[in-house]
Amino acid sequence: MTVTVLVVDDESNIVELNRMYLENAGYRVITARTGAEALARIENDHPDLVVLDLMLPGTDGWTVCREVRRKSQIPIIMLTARTEDIDRILGLELGADDYVTKPYNPRELVARVRAVLRRTHPSNEAEEAAAPLRLGNVTLDPARRTVLVNDEPVNLRTKEFDLLHYLMENPGIVLTRERLLSHVWGYDYAGETRTVDVHIAALRRELRNSNVSLETVWGVGYKIVGPSSGEDKEPRAVEEADDEVEKR
């Protein structure tokens, strides 16, 4: 299940930067520019976590946090340009789960979001991580790190397994090479997007007996799709093209 994060900030460049990094990490992002808009989005969209700037026009972040805590225990990470300890302490006393001071590295924010979600939803995360994923005749078991095609085991290398896992968590969704690279290999991986192409080609060979397809969306990335009544022959042509990429 995709986790939704609400980013609340009146500075458009900060909103878009946070959106980019959070979406690359696999989260669905919705936004608000004012405190009143944030309260409305929380009421209507029920996000799983809120990244909340304190210095908002009109209804400020303190008030938003206070109002949210009257009705809900949704996790809140506060953002502020002020560094005084009293601000941090007051924010935590109002019910914020974490506190990030501007300027900050967006990667740190992503790490804080993950940490807060692990802390506030540990059982859900464990259940979702352990549940087998099925698409067509392919079954992937994250807990045992096994893959079956027609109930027969398929041996995948570590990153091939991780890549397939992430694709199967997002069936039918086009994932950019950059997003796959950052999620599977990590933000600090110093590789190129061609690494993704090579591993996709390897996965296609390993899953050649399955009825799922790893489809290329030219100029964007890849998606995994299950069997359909109107299968065409394009995936095979794409597979052969990717095999040639790997050979070169």
User: Do the strands 98-101 and 138-141 form a parallel or antiparallel pair, or are they unpaired?
Assistant: unpaired
pLDDT tens sequence for the chain (248 residues): 678 999 999 999 999 999 999 998 889 999 999 999 999 999 999 999 999 998 898 899 989 999 998 888 899 999 887 666 666 666 667 778 888 888 888 888 988 898 888 777 765 555 555 678 999 999 999 888 899 999 999 999 888 998 999 899 888 888 888 888 877 876 544 456 688 899 999 999 999 999 999 999 988 899 999 986 343 433 333 343 444 333 43
pLDDT score of 235:
38
pTM value > 0.85? no
**Full residue range of the structural domain in which residue 74 is found:** 4-125
- Backbone φ and ψ for 76, nearest 5 degrees, come out as -130, 130
pLDDT score of 107:
84
Shared domain for 223 and 113, answered yes or no, is no
How many domains does one find in the chain? 2
Shared domain for 196 and 231, answered yes or no, is yes
Shared domain for 145 and 112, answered yes or no, is no
Shared domain for 100 and 189, answered yes or no, is no
Shared domain for 212 and 158, answered yes or no, is yes
Axis crossing angle, helix 61-71 with helix 35-45, rounded to the nearest 10:
20
Shared domain for 78 and 24, answered yes or no, is yes
Q: Which of 125, 144, 161 is at the close of a domain?
A: 125
Shared domain for 139 and 176, answered yes or no, is yes
Distance CA 56, CA 8 (A): 9
Shared domain for 81 and 136, answered yes or no, is no
pLDDT score of 184:
82
Q: Which of 71, 94, 125 is at the close of a domain?
A: 125
pLDDT score of 91:
67
Dihedral-angle region of residue 145 (phi above 0 means left; psi in -120 to 50 means alpha; beta otherwise): left
Contact 140, 187 (CB under 8 A): no
pLDDT score of 132:
87
DSSP calls for 34-56? SHHHHHHHHHHH--SEEEEES--
Shared domain for 152 and 241, answered yes or no, is yes
pLDDT score of 68:
92
Shared domain for 114 and 83, answered yes or no, is yes
Shared domain for 15 and 103, answered yes or no, is yes
Shared domain for 229 and 140, answered yes or no, is yes
pLDDT score of 17:
93
Q: Which of 84, 105, 125 is at the close of a domain?
A: 125
pLDDT score of 170:
86
The CATH number assigned to the domain holding 86 equals: 3.40.50.2300
The CATH number assigned to the domain holding 171 equals: 1.10.10.10
Residue with tokens 């992002």: 29
